């Protein structure tokens, strides 16, 4: 089975307080903020590894981002994935979700015919949750998001999490599956896989490498959504420790709710 996982390099949540928004470009200022693999994408990788263990095959990582994102690709390889491709080009910069998913779809089509493409359900920074479904549409593939379990039984069967329950769906291949951060427990990276990274294919592609590309769909110029005004809201959080018996704590919570009723809280 040919499996791909699309991963996004995002600012480390530990540094969220230091992230600002550029007042002119309205984009996140990431200078000096370390990057990590988006959390849901780690769970997508874990689900891909489990599928590979069950069915055999290969796992290819794809990502679109700045050259520094190669570090996150190598981390994915160290988790046991087989090869990685980063599409990095000024032409793809400033992309909205439609331009991002188009570029990722063209990258996937250029490098192989995949049976299953995993993504995270949502990124920690843009957090639109658009990309998995858009990718499914560009690839003309079945797609499901909010997935918490995947198995191969006469096709690909996914379990989707809803607000009040779960549902199972059978997807024909090729398919795109958006995995949530609740799907599984991500395994520890073992030393053998870390040592193997240097022997694995890790390639940086530019727009010129992509087949059948419509360049007018790339980056900021190819993005139908562009950032408008952004406003930073001063978070004014207070942490109150509640102590006592369950009943005493319940009474204190009721009192706090009474005091804050009608007030805007953040």
Ligand X SMILES: Cc1cc2nc3c(=O)[nH]c(=O)nc-3n(C[C@H](O)[C@H](O)[C@H](O)COP(=O)(O)OP(=O)(O)OC[C@H]3O[C@@H](n4cnc5c(N)ncnc54)[C@H](O)[C@@H]3O)c2cc1C
Contact mark string toward ligand X, 20..39, x via CB under 6 A: --------x---------x-
> Does residue 180 interact with ligand X by CB under 6 A?
no
Angle at 78 between CA 38 and CA 130, to 5 degrees: 25
Q: How far is the CB of 188 from ligand X (least distance, A)?
A: 21
Residue 106 as a binder of ligand X (CB under 6 A): the answer is no
**68 makes contact with ligand X (CB under 6 A):** no
Q: Label each residue of 185-219 as H, E or C.
A: CCCCCCHHHHHHHHHCEEEEECHHHCCCCCHHHCC
Taking CB under 6 A as the criterion, which residues in 82-101 touch ligand X?
95-97, 100
Q: Which of 46, 75, 115, 122 binds ligand X (CB under 6 A)?
A: 122
Give, rounded to a whole angstrom, the gap between the first and last alpha carbons of the chain: 47
130 binds ligand X (CB under 6 A): yes
Burial class of residue 47, CB neighbours in 10 A (0-12, 13-18, 19+) = buried
Q: Give the residue closest to ligand X by C-beta.
A: 126
**Closest CB to ligand X among residues 100, 184:** 100
Among 12, 126, 149, 152, binds ligand X (CB under 6 A): 126
Torsion of CA 173, 45, 164, 133, to 10 degrees: -50
Question: What is the C-alpha to C-alpha distance for residues 64 and 8, in angstroms, rounded to an integer?
Answer: 7
**Within 10 A of 49 (CB to CB), how many other CB atoms are there?**
20
220 binds ligand X (CB under 6 A): no
Q: Where along the sequence are the contacts to ligand X (CB under 6 A)?
A: 6-8, 28, 38, 40-41, 63-65, 95-97, 100, 104, 119-120, 122-123, 125-132, 225
């Amino acid at each position: 089975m040919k499996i791909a996982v699309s991963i996004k390099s995002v600012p480390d949540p530990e540094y969220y307080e230091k992230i600002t928004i550029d007042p002119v470009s309205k984009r996140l200022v990431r200078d000096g903020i370390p990057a990590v693999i988006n959390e849901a994408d780690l769970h997508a990788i874990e689900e891909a590894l489990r599928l590979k263990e069950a069915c055999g095959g290969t796992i290819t990582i794809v990502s679109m981002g700045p050259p520094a994102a190669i570090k996150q690709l190598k981390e994915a390889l160290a988790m046991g994935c087989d090869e990685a491709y980063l599409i990095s080009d000024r032409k793809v910069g400033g992309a909205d979700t439609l331009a991002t998913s188009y570029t990722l779809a063209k990258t996937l089509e250029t490098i192989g015919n995949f049976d299953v493409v995993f993504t995270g359900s949502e990124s920690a920074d843009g957090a639109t949750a658009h990309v998995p479904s858009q990718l499914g549409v560009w690839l003309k593939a079945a797609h499901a998001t909010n997935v918490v379990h995947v198995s191969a039984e006469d096709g690909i069967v996914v379990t989707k999490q809803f607000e009040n329950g779960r549902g199972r769906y059978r997807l024909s291949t090729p398919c795109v599956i958006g995995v949530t951060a609740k799907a599984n427990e991500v395994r520890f990276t073992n030393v053998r896989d870390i040592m193997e990274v240097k022997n694995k294919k890790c390639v940086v592609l530019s727009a010129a490498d992509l087949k059948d590309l419509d360049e007018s769909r790339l980056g900021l110029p190819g993005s139908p959504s562009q950032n408008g005004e952004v406003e930073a809201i001063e978070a004014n959080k207070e942490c109150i420790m509640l102590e006592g018996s369950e009943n005493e704590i319940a009474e204190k919570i009721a009192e706090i709710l009474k005091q804050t009723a009608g007030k805007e809280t953040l």
